[in-house]
Each structure stands twice: as structure tokens, then as C-alpha cells.
Structure 1
Amino acid sequence: MLRFGAVSYLNTKPLVETLDERLMNWGTLRLDLPSRLASDLANGELDVALIPSVEYFRNQADYEIVSNAAIACRGPVWSVRLLSRVPIPEIQTVALDEGSRTSAAMAQVLLSEMHSLRPKTVPFPIGSEAADLDADAVLMIGDRAMHPPHGTYQEIWDLGDRWCRWTELPFVFAMWVARREVTEDPKQLERINETLNASRDDGVQRFESIAIREAASQGLTNEDLHRYFAENLHFYMGPGERSGLALFRKKAEAIGLVPPLSVAPGPNA
């Protein structure tokens, strides 16, 4: 039985809509926080996992992307925003949402590339309020970004929009990867790929029913959530997404956010 893990976030719902039933008799699925999934995959407690792109970079020498199902965007993403109380070029401190290391790296790359900024970073703990933070700017993801707090902000960036405009490439937030020993059997790799892609295809066909089921708990209308799935997110890893992923890795490495690929830590690091 192969052990699969996926993040337990709203943007993952279309990728795992029918995965449990498709894994019946040959695999198990566990939903958890991104950091736990990344650690368990690295430690050999999971075989395949949907992990943030930054976590993939940190063990890239030992991992292989096993599906073209992914969480990406090709424009405004809505659920990842930088809210600044000062003009962007004046940012000296930024509070980073602890819910996503990839979005935190994305924000730092964009500030560095677009404005040559390397602001001091402080945590934005889950459960805390932006108003309580003494920082020039605040990175928000997920529900907090989709329902931003009232306050005086001079600039608000949708980071998906900023990345895609600046690079003219998509951005990949997370992808399915496996440890390389899991992919040594070509037949097993093909089965993993086909299963993950089929589950994604099922979910893409069920945006409306997923939105009806999940919207109320997220404080969204059915229409808003359907639009989020259909217009803000992209669930396919094509050549453009791979190019965007490679550029993100290069830029994150350049400012010390991920290790050089040649010395990336092994799975037990």
C-alpha cells in the first residue's frame, strides 16, 4: 500500500475529490498541514505527497514530480495577498503568514526583484490579527487573504497577479512528488501518474458541486468559490508552469531562501 498525503486546504479539494476511492486496495490518503507532509515525505513516512514548491526545492535531488496535476495560477490568485501600510518601496518589515512557506518566499522574491528590497521578516501566527502586528506590510494567504481585514493600507498586491505580470509565466504553489525509490518501477510510476491525473480531472468537472459543499464553511458564496476554482486557480502543470517553477527556484536560491540544487539536503535532513 502506497502512502499518499495532501494538504488539507480549500485549493486542494479539486485534486483529491475522488482520490480516496481511486486508491482503494493499493494506496491510502492522509490530509495534513504542508509542513507535516513535507517532513513525513522526507523521512520516508509518506511515499507520494502534494507539497509546496519550496519544500520540493529543499529536497529536489531526491524527489521526482509524478503528475501534471498541480496547484498553480496564471494571473490573480485572490488567496495570496501582500497588504502594505506604506508605499511598497518603503517597506522595511514584513509579517509572513505562517501557513505557507512558498507564498512567503514568493513575496520576498517579488520585493527583491521588483524593488531591490530585503525587508526584515517577522512571523504572522495563525490565529493572530494583522492589526496587532508591528510591521510595514503583511502577507496573508487562504481565508485571511480572501477576507482581508479593514485597515489603512496604501498598497495591496495580489501576488499571483504580480508574479505573472512580472515574469510572463505561471506560478506553481504545489505539486505531487515522490521519493525517487518509489518511482523506480515504471509501472508503479505510470499508475501513480494516471491516478492523480484522473482524480484531478474528476475534480475539475465537479467545481460546482465542490463549491456548493464547501462555500458556506469558508464564508463565501457558491458563485465566488466556483469562480475561485475556475478562474483564479489552474490545476495543470504544463511547459509554462515548469518554466515558472524553474524561475522561482532560481530566484529563491539567489536570495538564500532555498539551498543550491547541487547541495540540496537528502531525504533524512
Structure 2
Amino acid sequence: MSYKAGWIHFTNVAPILDSLVLPPGVTAITGVPTQMNAALLSGQVDIANISAVEFIRNADVLEALPDFSVAVLGPVYSVNLFHTRPLEDLRRVALTAQSAMSVALLEVLLRERGLNPTLERAEGEAETLLAQGFDGVLRIGDSALREWYGVVGPLTPETTMTGLPHAARGITVTDLAEEWFRLTGHPFTFAVWAYRKDNPPPPELVQAMREARRDGIGHLAAVAERHARKLGLPERVVQHYLWNFRYHLEAPDRLGLHEFAAKAVPGHAPLTFGPRPGEERTRSAAD
């Protein structure tokens, strides 16, 4: 067996990937979301935790694991629009090239508000780009989490994560997942574990992923402590951040995913998912 995985190893998937032991015959590479999206579609890798929007756009050739997701109900803290003007007055917004998902979500949210600012590709920290003349900057991942805390922090002993302000020093931080929840009342699914329909993952890999997820969620404080040191953030900030995530693609997550698909990619092919846990053995026995 030879099977290659492509992991987007941001902090938000640390509870799944940190302790994952790949079975014999499976190897892995890492990269940013757009790189892994391309690697999966080109055949460079066989499975990847790709942007949900790329799964939707390529639903004719891709299938997803039925019980793995990166989703949130409410704020995500790491997909942020930093802006110096009210949303209704935005003129120029800088977009990262690292994530198709966040760009698609921003476009949906702007469209739902009837807004049409100029969207431009530009890389760099939010405050740097704002100083260069952009009045909005989209940031994702660990960098966005650090920059969010850089604007709204520090966290004092008397304050909580949910009590932190969303604006400081003339900068407002709009959490796109929170805006999605306000719009729809549903969770937002940022990523799924997808593979080409003609090349599903070996059961040993899926089982190893489930075991790693169970271990990571069971030791979330240790995972948060380890990544807080890497990020240079307070431990309880990272712990709260990880507590928010929904990793099992449950019914509400699928509902939000289908609603986003309808808004972002009208006319997409039907979304398909592999057999749920336990169904693999049932199907094998039937075969």
C-alpha cells in the first residue's frame, strides 16, 4: 500500500494531527490550504483536510470522510476581517492567497449585505496593510489568531475570552464565522477531509485519525499549552480557541455546509460522503 496525505497543520487541527501515527505505507506532506487543495486535485496527495469550498467546487470528483470536520458554532478567532471603516463603508480589502475558503465566505457575507468593495490580493500583517491604505484586511489561521489578540488583548485576570472587545486603536476585528452564525444560525464548516472518489483512504488511516482525535480532545489542555508556546499567546487563549471547534461533522455542521454550498457555489454537484463508522464492516460483510 502506498497512500499520501496532505495536511494543513494549523493549530485548529492540532487535536487531530499532533498525535497521529501514520500506518505503514502512508506518508504525509504539509502546506497552506491553497497548496493542499491543489495537491489533492492534481493527484500529488490522495487525501487532505481541504477548504470546504474546494470540496464543494469539485464535488463531482471528491468525496469526504463522513465524521471529520473543522467547524465552529459562533466565533472562530482565526478567520478575521481587520478594518478601519464600518463594513458598509469599506472600499479596498486585502485578501490572502493562502485560503480560498475565507475569501469565499467573505464574498458571501458581503453579498448578503449588498456590499461590493474592491477585493485585492495582498500579503502581510493586518496592521501593516491597513497602514498602506487598505481599509480592510482578511487574515486566516495562526497568524490571524495572533493578530486578533494583538488588537483586542491583553487578557487580564478579570477578563475572559468572550469578554474581550472587538475593537481597539481604531481597528475593528470582524470574525467571519460569527457573522455567518448571525446570518444563518448554523455552524460554519471550514474544512473537511476529502479524497478522490476513485481512491478512498485505507481503513487503517481513518482508524488512526479517529484514535488521534480522541487522544487530542482528551488531552486538550496539554495540546493548548504546547501550541500556546509556539504562538506566543496565553495558554487559556489557545485553550478557549480549541474548545470552540467541532471535529465530527455532525448534522448541524452538514446543514451549515449545504447552506454555504448553495450560497457560494450555486448549481454545484451533490456533496457525497463515505460510509459512517461501523458501516464499513456492514458493507464488507454484505459484499
Could you tell me the TM-score, scaled by structure 2's length? 0.79
Amino acid at match of 1:136: D
Q: Please tell me whether the aligned partners of residues 67 and 196 of structure 1 are also in contact (alpha carbons under 8 angstroms).
A: no
Give the RMSD, CA atoms, in angstroms. 2.3
Residues 1:7 and 2:8 aligned together: yes
Aligned residue for 1:26?
A: 25
Following superposition, the deviation at residue 220 of structure 1 comes to: 0.8
Q: Does 1:124 align with 2:122?
A: yes
Residue type at the aligned position of 2:251: P
Say whether residues 1:158 and 2:169 are aligned partners: no
The equivalent of 1:225 in structure 2 is 238
Aligned match for 1:175, one of 188, 192, 201:
192
2:45 alignment counterpart: 46
CA contact (8 A) 1:48 1:176 kept: yes
CA distance in 2, matches of 1:164, 1:144: 23
Q: 1:8 is matched by which residue type in structure 2?
A: H
1:173-212 Cα distance to aligned partner (Å, 9 max, x none): 11101111113xxxx6644443322222221112111122
Cα drift, residue 130 of structure 1: 2.5
Q: Which amino acid aligns with 1:18?
A: S
The TM-score with structure 1 as length reference comes to: 0.84
Contact (CA 8 Å) 1:95, 1:135: kept in 2 or not? yes
Contact 2:56 2:265 in 1 (8 A): no
5+ long unaligned stretches in structure 1 = 255-259, 264-269
Q: Distance in 2 between matches of 1:67 and 1:189?
A: 14
The reply on whether 1:261 has 2:268 as its aligned counterpart is yes
- Residue of structure 1 aligned with 2:227, choices 198, 211, 214: 214
Corresponding residue SS for 2:262: helix
Question: In structure 2, do the counterparts of structure 1 residues 133 and 241 end up closer, same or farther at CA, with 3 Å as the change threshold?
Answer: farther
- Alpha-carbon offset, residue 158 of structure 1: 1.3
Give the alignment partner of residue 261 of structure 2, picking from 236, 249, 253: 249
Secondary structure (helix, strand or coil) at the match of 1:116 reads coil
CA distance in 2, matches of 1:82, 1:117: 14
Q: 1:174 and 1:133 mapped to 2: Cα distance?
A: 31
166 and 82 in structure 1: CA distance in 2 versus 1, 3 angstrom threshold: same
AA aligned to 1:29 is: A
Cα separation, partners in 2 of 1:152 and 1:144, compared to 1, 3 Å:
farther
> Aligned equivalents of 1:51 and 1:189: distance in 2?
18
Q: Equivalent residue for 1:70?
A: 69
- Give 3-state SS (helix, strand or coil) of 2:208's partner: helix
* Residue 240, structure 1, aligned to residue 225, structure 2: no
CA distance in 1, matches of 2:230, 2:181: 30
Do the aligned residues in 1 keep the contact of 2:9 with 2:17 (CA within 8 Å)? no
Distance 1:228 1:210 in 2: 11
Q: Distance in 1 between matches of 2:269 and 2:230?
A: 44
Aligned to 2:277: none
Aligned 8 A contact 2:10 2:142 in 1: no
- CA deviation map 1:27-80 (0-9, x unaligned): 112222222211111111211111111221221110000241211111111112
Could you report, residue by residue, the CA deviation over 1:215-245 in whole angstroms, capped at 9, with x for unpaired residues? 1220112221111111x32212011111111
Q: What percentage of residue pairs aligned between the two structures are identical?
A: 29
Shift of residue 134 of structure 1? 2.2
Distance change in 2, residues 1:203/1:32 (3 Å)? same
Structure 2, unmatched stretches of 5+, are 152-168, 271-287
Mark the CA change 1:239 to 1:133 in structure 2 (over 3 Å): closer, same or farther. Answer: farther
Distance 1:241 1:47 in 2: 24
C-alpha distance in structure 2 between counterparts of 1:67 and 1:138, whole Å: 33
**Which moved further from structure 2: 190-199 or 240-249?**
190-199
